[in-house]
Amino acid sequence: MKQKQIFHEKEIFDLKKELSELKVSNEDNKKQISDLRKEMSYLILTHKYHGVLQNVSLKQLLNEGFKVGMKELYSYKNTFEEFQKFKKYSLVVLAARMMIL
């Protein structure tokens, strides 16, 4: 786990460096800068939300840019086809919470 964390941190550092060099050297590369920002955001999110986590609020996820794609009771029997609409995304979060009655 530590090795993966170091790998992500170096990748994020390299992307930040590349992004700052692009800004300085050529302001016309807006598409390339935008792509680098997206890649860096993805790496940061996958690093931050890796594995099974507890006590992450819906508000926190929404603030990070996640969107609610499906909201069902835990007892609802989802089908494989219902999840197919999410395959176009590179990062998907599945969450559950206990309902207090």
One pLDDT digit (tens) per residue for the chain, 101 residues: 455 555 577 788 888 788 777 665 565 677 777 788 788 887 878 778 777 888 888 898 888 888 888 888 778 888 888 888 888 877 777 777 777 76
pTM of the shown model = 0.52
Question: What are the strands, taking DSSP E only, across the chain?
Answer: none
Around 14, how many Cα atoms within 13 Å sit in the side-chain half-sphere? 8
Q: CA torsion angle for 39, 89, 2, 96 (degrees, to 10)?
A: 140
